[in-house]
C-alpha cells in the first residue's frame, strides 16, 4: 500500500506517516497491510501507482457515459476480465492475470466488517448533559455541561472524545431524529446548578409557567431541559401573559408537554385593536353627550 503526498508544501510525515497519524495507523491495522510512504517530489517512486489511474481513465472509460455506478462497475469488471487481465505487462513481460494468480493465495481475506470512517465535528455539551448530532442527542458523564468536546459519527455509532487527549468518553448507537441515548450512569445524582437556575428563571417568568416546567423536569428528567427552554422561548415570541394562560390550561387538563403549549399558542386567535367596530360609537356621540351633561348642570 503506497501513500502519496498530493499537495506540495504539506509535511508528509505529519499526514502520511502511519506512526504519527492515528487514522492511517488504524486503517492499516484493520486491513493487515504495511504502508510504504513516498518521498515528496520524487516521481520515480510513485509513477507506477499514478500511471494505473491514468491508464484506466484513458483506456476503458474515455468518451463513455453511464447511467449509474452499477452500470459503470459492470462494464469495468468485463473490461478487466477480457482485456486488462490478459494483456502482457510492459515491465515484467508476463500476463497480468497469470501474475495475480500466483500472488492471490498469499493474500489475506478482508475483514468481515469494513473500516468505520466517521464524520467529525465539535460540540458544546448542553444543559441536559448531551451533545446533538443530526437532531439526536447523546449523553456524557456528569461534569461536562458547557464544555466543548470532539464528536465522530457514522451510520451506526456516535463517539464522543476528550477535546485535549482524544480519549473516548462515550460511544452510542445512532438514534433517529429527536431521540436520546443516555446511559444510566450519566444521570446526575442530584439536580445540577444550571438546571436549578433554569427552573428559577421559569418561576420568575410566571407562576403557572414555573409550575409546568417543574412538572416537565420531574417527569422527564434531563430530556425535559430542552422542552423547558422551548417554553421560555415561547414567552419571548407570544408574550408572558399568553404563555401563562397556555400553561394554566395544560395544568388543568393534565398535559405536561411543551408541544401542547406551543400548539395552543399557534391556534389561539390573535387579538387586534381596531378603530372601527360595531361596539365602538362615533366620537361625535361622546362629544354631544358631554355637552348635554354640561348644560344640565345648574349654574
CB burial class (10 A; 0-12, 13-18, 19+) of residue 226?
Answer: middle
Residue 277: band (very low, low, confident or very high) from pLDDT cuts 50, 70, 90? low
- CA atoms of 6 and 4, how far apart (whole Å): 6
Share of the chain above pLDDT 90, in %: 36
3-state secondary structure of 117: coil
Instruction: Quick: pLDDT tens for 142-152.
Output: 889 999 999 99
Closest CA to 261 of 270, 249, 271, 269: 249
247 pLDDT higher than 90? yes
Instruction: Quick: pLDDT tens for 101-117.
Output: 998 998 888 888 888 88
Residue with cell 468536546: 149
Domain residue extents for the chain: 12-106, 119-186, 193-267
pLDDT at 202: 92
Based on its alpha-carbon atoms, the radius of gyration of the chain, rounded to whole angstroms, reads 35
CB 181 within 8 A of CB 223: no
Closest CA to 86 of 75, 78, 74, 98: 98
1 pLDDT higher than 60? no
52 pLDDT higher than 80? no
DSSP string of 40-105? TT-HHHHHHHHHHHHHHHHTTSTT---SSHHHHHHHHHHHIIIIITTSBPTTT-SBHHHHHHHHGG
- What is the rounded average pLDDT of the residues 254-278? 78
Grid cell digits, residue 69 = 455506478
pLDDT at 297: 73
Q: Beta strand pairing status for 180-181 and 148-153? A: unpaired
Instruction: Quick: pLDDT tens for 161-193.
Output: 999 998 999 999 999 998 999 998 888 888 888
218 pLDDT higher than 70? yes
Instruction: Quick: pLDDT tens for 2-40.
Output: 333 333 333 334 444 545 566 778 888 888 888 777 777
Model pTM score = 0.55
Mean pLDDT (the chain) is 83
The angle that helices 240-253 and 225-238 make with each other, rounded to 10 degrees, is 130
Amino acid at each position: 500500500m503506497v501513500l502519496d503526498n498530493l499537495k506540495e508544501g504539506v509535511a508528509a510525515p505529519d499526514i502520511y506517516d502511519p506512526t504519527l497519524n492515528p487514522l492511517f495507523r488504524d486503517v492499516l491495522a484493520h486491513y493487515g497491510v504495511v504502508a510504504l510512504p513516498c518521498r515528496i517530489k520524487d516521481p520515480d517512486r510513485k509513477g507506477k501507482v499514478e500511471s494505473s489511474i491514468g491508464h484506466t481513465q484513458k483506456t476503458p472509460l474515455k468518451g463513455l457515459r453511464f447511467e449509474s455506478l452499477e452500470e459503470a462497475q459492470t462494464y469495468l469488471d468485463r473490461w478487466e476480465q477480457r482485456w486488462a487481465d490478459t494483456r502482457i505487462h510492459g515491465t515484467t513481460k508476463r500476463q497480468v492475470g497469470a501474475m495475480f494468480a500466483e500472488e492471490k493465495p498469499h493474500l489475506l481475506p478482508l475483514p468481515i466488517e469494513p473500516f468505520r470512517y466517521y464524520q467529525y465535528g465539535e460540540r458544546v455539551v448542553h444543559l441536559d448533559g448531551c451533545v446533538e448530532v443530526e437532531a439526536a442527542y447523546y449523553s456524557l458523564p456528569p461534569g461536562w455541561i458547557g464544555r466543548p468536546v470532539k464528536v465522530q459519527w457514522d451510520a451506526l455509532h456516535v463517539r464522543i472524545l476528550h477535546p485535549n487527549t482524544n480519549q473516548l468518553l462515550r460511544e452510542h448507537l445512532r438514534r433517529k431524529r429527536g431521540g436520546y441515548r443516555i446511559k444510566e450512569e450519566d444521570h446526575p445524582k442530584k439536580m445540577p446548578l444550571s438546571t436549578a437556575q433554569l427552573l428559577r428563571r421559569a418561576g420568575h417568568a410566571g407562576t403557572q409557567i414555573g409550575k409546568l416546567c417543574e412538572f416537565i423536569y420531574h417527569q422527564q428528567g434531563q430530556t425535559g431541559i430542552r422542552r423547558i427552554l422551548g417554553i421560555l422561548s415561547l414567552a419571548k415570541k407570544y408574550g408572558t401573559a399568553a404563555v401563562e394562560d397556555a400553561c394554566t390550561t395544560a395544568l388543568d387538563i393534565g398535559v405536561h408537554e411543551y408541544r401542547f403549549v406551543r400548539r395552543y399558542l399557534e391556534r389561539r386567535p390573535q387579538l387586534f385593536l381596531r378603530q372601527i367596530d360595531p361596539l365602538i360609537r362615533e366620537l361625535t356621540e361622546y362629544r354631544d353627550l358631554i355637552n348635554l351633561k354640561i348644560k344640565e348642570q345648574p349654574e
